[in-house]
Amino acid sequence: MADPILRLSQLSKRFGQFVAVKDIDLAIDEGEFFTIVGPSGSGKTTLIRMLAGLEEPSGGEILLRGQRINETPANRRPTCMVFQSLALFPHRSVGQNIEFPLKMRGVPPMQRRERADELLRLLRLPEDYYGKQVSQCSGGERQRIALARALAFDPEILFFDEPLSAIDFRLRKTLEKELKDLHRETGKTFIYITHSLEEAMVMSDRIGIMRAGELVQVGAPDEIYSRPANRFVSEFMGEVNVLEVKPNGAGLHCPALGATLQGPSDPGGQSDFAGGYLVIRPEYLRFLGPGETAENQVEGVLYNEYALGSRIQYQVRVGEAVFLVEKLREQRYEGQLDDRVVIGWEARDSVLAPE
């Protein structure tokens, strides 16, 4: 296998006594779309600022193609950052914005214009936008201009600091797909940070989940979704049913239900599981009719339902526990609120997670 384009070794950042990033080891492959996800204060912005050369690490190493770049300033790295604010020049034309990094590097005007026209086509902007003022462009167009400017001098790595967080939902969904298409068309390495799980799942080859300055799990979206490393990851990756459990001779005792449940036969490396949580995704639960059974089943009250477009989510209360059940609209439950219902799931469709 080829060596990674970027390798972090025991990378850390301290601000006084506060540790913002703690001893991170990570390798990112060339051409990968890698997304760092975490709540506010998790350290993801500090991490990407170190990678882009905007913050100097307190410890550890950043290796770009095997060369240490800890002290290399941002303008001398073959990388570029797309900021949340976009940082465009509002009173200059689209073309002037795109050409700016090329002008700073002394590229002749004719070559700058050729590159700008090429990038306008790549970012699906009309070529006559070259002379249009940025201030006259829509939010989505400004996002594309910022991307074109970032690509202008052909960087090896593009960093993205939550560039879609301030735009409306519909445009964000469009730009998520366009970013993924752009990644494939350019073959560049993209390193992206966001607090949005949905953005990460749509676009990424791999995701790193951050918490309190540490990477708590790194993997493909499907891997993290189906095999979370702990309760924090499982809940961060979307709405889930989480039951506190402890092994007993017959299975897993759940105090909230006063029942013994069956967990997965292959607990994902948790053969020494001494207690923690059983995690079940809402889509794996089903309503059981007369004569139907499941390896795990409980009876409760249908308390509420929530329309989610093509899906419907149901809230079922079972004693002290609250379950979420999610179904496609065409599979909706035909009864009424306050019905007594039985819901169930198979043991293989659950995951054991420590705290």
Of 226, 259, 281, the one marking the end of a domain is 226
CA dihedral 286, 287, 293, 298 (to 10 degrees): 90
Is 247 inside a domain boundary? yes
pTM (2 decimals)? Answer: 0.86
How far apart are the C-alpha atoms of 182 and 267, rounded to whole Å? Answer: 38
pLDDT tens figures, 208-247? 999 999 999 999 999 988 888 888 998 887 788 999 999 9
CATH, residue 191: 3.40.50.300
CATH, residue 245: 2.40.50.140
Residue 88's domain comprises 6-226
Question: How many structural domains comprise the chain?
Answer: 2
Is 145 inside a domain boundary? yes
Of 159, 193, 226, the one marking the end of a domain is 226
- Residue 299 pLDDT exceeds 80: yes
Both 132 and 180 in one domain: the answer is yes
CB 177 within 8 A of CB 9: no
Please tell me the chain's helix, strand, coil percentages from 3-state DSSP, rounded to the nearest 5. Answer: 30, 35, 35
Amino acid identity of 133?
Q
Burial of residue 269 (number of CB atoms within 10 Å: 0-12, 13-18, 19+): exposed
Both 196 and 261 in one domain: the answer is no
The pair of three-digit structure tokens given for residue 1, joined into one six-digit string = 């296998």
Both 31 and 173 in one domain: the answer is yes
Band of the pLDDT at 149, cuts 50, 70, 90? very high
> What was the pLDDT predicted at 1?
59
Both 200 and 326 in one domain: the answer is no
Write the DSSP assignment of 166-224 as a string of letters.
TS-HHHHHHHHHHHHHHHHHH--EEEEEES-HHHHHHH-SEEEEEETTEEEEEE-HHHH
User: Rg of the chain's alpha carbons, rounded to an integer?
Assistant: 24
CB 156 within 8 A of CB 191: no
Is 320 inside a domain boundary? yes
> What was the pLDDT predicted at 343?
97
> What was the pLDDT predicted at 328?
93
Both 222 and 318 in one domain: the answer is no
Residue-level length of the chain: 355
Both 167 and 200 in one domain: the answer is yes
Biggest CA pair distance of the chain: 78
- The residues that bridge with 251 in the sheet, in sequence order, are 248
Q: Report which of 48, 42, 47, 38 is spatially closest to residue 233, judged by C-alpha positions.
A: 38
Is 76 inside a domain boundary? yes
How far apart are the C-alpha atoms of 227 and 218, rounded to whole Å? Answer: 11
How far apart are the C-alpha atoms of 58 and 48, rounded to whole Å? Answer: 14
Of 226, 258, 281, the one marking the end of a domain is 226
Both 119 and 243 in one domain: the answer is no
- Residue 270 pLDDT exceeds 60: no
Query: Which helix (H) or strand (E) is 52 found in, with range?
Result: helix 44-52
Is 279 inside a domain boundary? yes
The pair of three-digit structure tokens given for residue 163, joined into one six-digit string = 């560039």
Band of the pLDDT at 272, cuts 50, 70, 90? low
pLDDT tens figures, 322-337? 999 999 999 989 999 9
Is 1 inside a domain boundary? no
Both 246 and 221 in one domain: the answer is no
Mean pLDDT of 101-122: 93
- The residues that bridge with 324 in the sheet, in sequence order, are 315
Give the side-chain half-sphere CA count within 13 A for 185.
Answer: 12
Mean pLDDT of 107-129: 93
How far apart are the C-alpha atoms of 241 and 233, rounded to whole Å? Answer: 13
Both 71 and 156 in one domain: the answer is yes
> What was the pLDDT predicted at 183?
95
Both 185 and 261 in one domain: the answer is no
Give the distance, in angstroms, between the CA of residue 41 and the centroid of all CA atoms in the same chain. Answer: 16
Both 73 and 181 in one domain: the answer is yes
Q: Report which of 288, 286, 279 is spatially closest to residue 314, judged by C-alpha positions.
A: 286
Number of Cβ within 10 Å of residue 338's Cβ equals: 10
- Report the sign of the C-alpha dihedral through residues 265, 268, 269, 275, in that order: negative
Q: For residue 253, what are the contacts with CB-CB under 8 A and spacing of at least 6?
A: 245, 246, 247, 259, 260, 261
Band of the pLDDT at 268, cuts 50, 70, 90? very low
Is 271 inside a domain boundary? yes
Quote the crossing angle between the two packed helices 109-122 and 94-104, to the nearest 10°: 130
Is 147 inside a domain boundary? yes
pLDDT tens figures, 56-88? 999 999 999 999 999 999 989 999 988 877 788
3-state secondary structure of 152: coil
Both 285 and 198 in one domain: the answer is no
